[in-house]
Amino acid sequence: MRRRRWWGWGYEGEGLGHDEHVALGALLGERFGLSGRLLEPPDPARLALPPPRLAPPASLAGAVGDDHLERLSHAYGKSYRDVVRALSGRIEHPPDLVARPRDEAEVVAVLDWCASAGAAVVPYGGGSSVVGGVEPDVGDAFAGAVSLDLGALDRVLDLDRRSLAARVQAGTLGPALEDQLRPAGLTLRHFPQSFECSTLGGWIATRAGGHFATGPTHIDDLVESVRMVAPAGVLESRRLPASGAGPAPDRLVIGSEGALGVITEAWVRVRARPRWRGGGAVRFGHFAAGAEAVRALAQSGLGPSNCRLLDPLEAFVNGAGDGRHAVLVVGFESADHPLGPWTARAAELVADHGGTVDAAWDGGDAEVDGAGHGGAADTWRSSFLRGPYVRDALVRLGALCETFETACTWDAFGVLHERVTAATRDGLVEAGAGAGFVTCRLTHAYPDGVAPYFTVVAPARPGAELAQWAMVKSAASEAILASGGTITHHHAVGRDHRRWYDLERPPLFAGTLAAAKAVLDPAGICNPGVLLDPVRHPLPGGPP
Ligand SMILES: Cc1cc2nc3c(=O)[nH]c(=O)nc-3n(C[C@H](O)[C@H](O)[C@H](O)COP(=O)(O)OP(=O)(O)OC[C@H]3O[C@@H](n4cnc5c(N)ncnc54)[C@H](O)[C@@H]3O)c2cc1C
């Protein structure tokens, strides 16, 4: 059995090997003067946790427990803050108990018990939240906190091949979902970078952004209907391809981040696995020229499945560029037809904007054999998947390393990119990490706008990492909102983005959401603090 790391990304024994750590340490030494010493995670057995404040009823003994490692593993998500705190043995809000319901009836039973005990419930999918979404930091009004792990609900329950839809349990991890669809020749094709360790329920709860860089970029577009168990009952939307019948019920559930209830399953739109793929990498002398090419592609109606632009430094760091050129990775795919006309027109468009198409560019006329296009595009893809392991290695070697993202309309993009980059650099200087760097890539593109994604790498000051990152994050987030961006395109709100989310959402909408929560979750036990301030309403006859 592969075991998940309790303190960081991925599985024990996987990730970078000894020699790679040494090489990375040497690079950090050269660039930032860091020592190259690799911090070892603390022995979990030596980390003391406060005794659980709750005891499960006998009827739930098989599904709810207080195992030490389980509590540790459910204390944090996977942000820089989370990894730094875990590595230093600082476990701030461990859950009192971890529930692993084996079916929906047990989800209902856990919610009922928590409501009667005055305990908060934090739904937990893959735990890959980077915004404090799974940290049981629920305030003092609760008798305790239960992390509700959906991991046992991990099956594809039904396939409607005629409508191309699958009914899937919420705790199904990305690889398990694709493994179960593959024998039918089907795929969801939702591949966030966290694919390996995130779940369908988590994607829906956070409105995750996936594989498609244009068109159906968010999981929202792939959800046909959804089923959520709330303390007040079950809310299930109907299976329909589309409907004009008033505000859509599933839109209330998608993006609810566990604050309204627990998503237990969904019907999702699947598709035949692609048989043709085309495209490749394109080099640009300037990031701005590449961005114009992305705009032209997004507005062309060609609908590339991949369209990701890396700035020169980002391309270099990922081994996909020489550090002087921005690199655009363009991809088309189809289960139905060769792609020649699409790739040819895309090549014309990028050339019109000064792009030079890589020699490994693939016209997409021949059926694929599973191999990629080769060249810079493939290099970038494998670096993308290894990215989370490298991030943790950088943190263990003493670097501050984190990402943040946004979306804005095309008319705002140039200024936003400039201001956010400058504000982040200023934040690094203010935090005493001025030697650091900031890179940008465009991850998703729309006819009317784009989603820029920033990466920060800098030397961290031991003991001051969290304060340093807080300064940089504040500077960047303020610049994002001031330049017309949103606080998140796909990482979600969680607890960490609340300050800025509250500023960007319309006040009347905040009230409407609170009213919906009062109906679905009358005691206020569902993920308190996420999306809304924690407010507990003791139930009649329950604890005060
Ligand atoms: C290295 C890395 C790369 C990432 N790349 C991407 C990316 O490419 N695209 C992207 O969109 N995000 C990305 N993320 C962020 C994260 O993976 C997503 O937010 C993902 O959708 C979370 O899924 P999860 O199953 O891990 O949910 P969790 O982290 O377990 O939970 C996230 C939130 O959803 C709630 N939740 C989870 N399951 C349920 C449920 N069944 N019912 C109700 N609420 C639930 C939780 O309470 C929490 O608020 C990345 C994160 C990391 C660490």
**Across 202-225, average pLDDT:** 96
Residue 382: pLDDT band (50, 70, 90) is confident
Cβ-based burial of 487 (10 A; exposed 0-12, middle 13-18, buried ≥19): buried
Q: What is the pLDDT of residue 535?
A: 87
Q: Which of 79, 84, 129, 219 to mutate to test the pocket of ligand 1 (most atoms within 8 A of CB)?
A: 129
CB atoms within 10 A of CB 461: 14
> Is the domain 276-367 a CATH 3.30.70.3450 member?
yes
User: Residue 492 C-alpha to ligand 1 middle, in angstroms?
Assistant: 8
Q: Ligand 1 within 6 A of 491 CB?
A: yes
Domain boundaries, the chain: 156-272, 276-367
Q: What is the pLDDT of residue 157?
A: 98
Ligand 1 atom with the shortest distance to the CA of 204: 21
pLDDT, greater one: 386 or 337: 337
Q: Ligand 1 within 6 A of 441 CB?
A: no
**Across 524-528, average pLDDT:** 98
- Calculate the alpha carbon distances from 505 to 259, 429, 486, 488, 490 in Å: 16, 31, 10, 12, 16
Q: Ligand 1 within 6 A of 134 CB?
A: yes
Using CA atoms, how far apart are residues 355 and 88, in angstroms rounded to an integer? 46
Q: What is the DSSP string of 471-538?
A: HHHHHHHHHHHHTT--S-SSS--TTTTHHHHHHHS-HHHHHHHHHHHHHH-TT--BSTTSSS-----P
Using CA atoms, how far apart are residues 143 and 52, in angstroms rounded to an integer? 10
Using CA atoms, how far apart are residues 315 and 389, in angstroms rounded to an integer? 18
Q: Report the topology of domain 156-272.
A: 3.30.465
User: Residue 137 C-alpha to ligand 1 middle, in angstroms?
Assistant: 17
Checking if the pLDDT of 544 tops 90, the result is no
Checking if the pLDDT of 283 tops 70, the result is yes
Q: What is the pLDDT of residues 325-346, one digit of tens each?
A: 999 999 999 999 999 999 999 9
CB 186 within 8 A of CB 177: no
Q: Which of 206, 488, 501 to mutate to test the pocket of ligand 1 (most atoms within 8 A of CB)?
A: 206
User: Residue 174 C-alpha to ligand 1 middle, in angstroms?
Assistant: 11
User: Residue 284 C-alpha to ligand 1 middle, in angstroms?
Assistant: 33
Checking if the pLDDT of 369 tops 70, the result is no
Using CA atoms, how far apart are residues 113 and 111, in angstroms rounded to an integer? 5
Ligand 1 atom with the shortest distance to the CA of 209: 11
Q: Ligand 1 within 6 A of 395 CB?
A: no
pLDDT, greater one: 400 or 374: 400
Q: Ligand 1 within 6 A of 490 CB?
A: yes
Ligand 1 atom with the shortest distance to the CA of 264: 41
Q: What is the pLDDT of residue 19?
A: 93
Could you tell me the end-to-end alpha-carbon distance of the chain, in angstroms, rounded to an integer? 43
Q: Ligand 1 within 6 A of 125 CB?
A: yes
Q: Ligand 1 within 6 A of 95 CB?
A: no
Using CA atoms, how far apart are residues 199 and 465, in angstroms rounded to an integer? 29
Spell out where 337-436 has E strands.
356-357, 399-405, 408-409
Q: What is the pLDDT of residue 199?
A: 98
The owner of tokens 């935090």 is: 431
Q: Ligand 1 within 6 A of 364 CB?
A: no
**Across 124-129, average pLDDT:** 98
Checking if the pLDDT of 301 tops 90, the result is yes
Q: Whose CA is nearest to atom 28 of ligand 1?
A: 127
**Across 13-28, average pLDDT:** 92
- Calculate the alpha carbon distances from 300 to 297, 304, 346, 409, 510 in Å: 5, 10, 9, 16, 36
Q: What is the pLDDT of residues 64-82, one digit of tens each?
A: 999 999 999 999 999 999 9
**Encoding tokens for residue 206?**
């956070």
User: Residue 257 C-alpha to ligand 1 middle, in angstroms?
Assistant: 9
Residue 538: pLDDT band (50, 70, 90) is confident
Q: Whose CA is nearest to atom 1 of ligand 1?
A: 388
User: Residue 129 C-alpha to ligand 1 middle, in angstroms?
Assistant: 4
How much is the mean pLDDT over the chain? 95
Residue 370: pLDDT band (50, 70, 90) is low
Q: What is the pLDDT of residue 78?
A: 98
Q: What is the pLDDT of residue 237?
A: 98
Q: Which of 194, 200, 226 to mutate to test the pocket of ligand 1 (most atoms within 8 A of CB)?
A: 194
Q: What is the pLDDT of residue 331?
A: 96
pTM of the model: 0.97
Checking if the pLDDT of 509 tops 60, the result is yes
Nearest to 72 by CA among 149, 150, 7: 7
**Across 477-485, average pLDDT:** 98
The owner of tokens 């060249």 is: 375
